[in-house]
Amino acid sequence: MNRKLRVLVAKLGLDAHDRGAKVVARAYRDAGFEVIYTGIYQRPEAVAEAAIQEDVDVVAISSLAGAHLTLIPQLIHLLKDQGADDMLVLAGGVIPEEDISALLAEGVAGVFGPGSDLDEIIRFTREHAAAK
């Protein structure tokens, strides 16, 4: 048996800044994950469908344009609707401190703001994806 953790790294909505997403994607790859990267300007529906078709363990959303409180919960609901609520959803990017508890309440497993340590993201992902 040859299990690899698969992670979808995605950008939601009108948010073209994908530098962070690419850095995180690269870090996951270097840690031995299989990373599906879908590019910018994705609708929540498209990200949910990609996550399901690719049967990923983790969905990592990078958000730098401020729409995280709208789009990430939408994505989580879409995943739930399709019975994919066992996927670990992570959020990163420019997310104000005061929004973190709202995201966690919506079902996001971890929030990683600016300056987050890549090793910490990997460690957190491994630990929580394995527990699923």
In the list 14, 45, 104, 132, the residue contacting another protein (rule: CB under 8 A) is 45
Number of residues that bind another protein (CB under 8 A): 30
Of residues 47 through 66, those in contact with another protein by CB under 8 A are: 49-50, 52-55
By beta-carbon proximity to another protein, the closer residue of 36 and 69 is 36
Stretch that binds another protein, among 45-53, 64-72, 93-101, 105-113 (CB under 8 A): 45-53
Stretch that binds another protein, among 33-41, 89-97, 100-108, 111-119 (CB under 8 A): 33-41
Nearest of 64, 63, 65 to residue 75 by alpha carbon: 63
Q: Cβ closer to another protein: 1 or 105?
A: 1
Kindly state the helix (H) or strand (E) to which residue 128 belongs, with its residue range: helix 118-131
Torsion of CA 106, 71, 130, 101, to 10 degrees: -40
Q: Are 57 and 87 in contact (CB under 8 A)?
A: yes
Q: How far is it, in rounded angstroms, from Cα 38 to Cα 97? A: 27
C-alpha span between 17 and 11 (Å, rounded): 9
- Min dist. Cβ of residue 31 to another protein (A): 6
Q: Does 37 bind another protein (CB under 8 A)?
A: yes
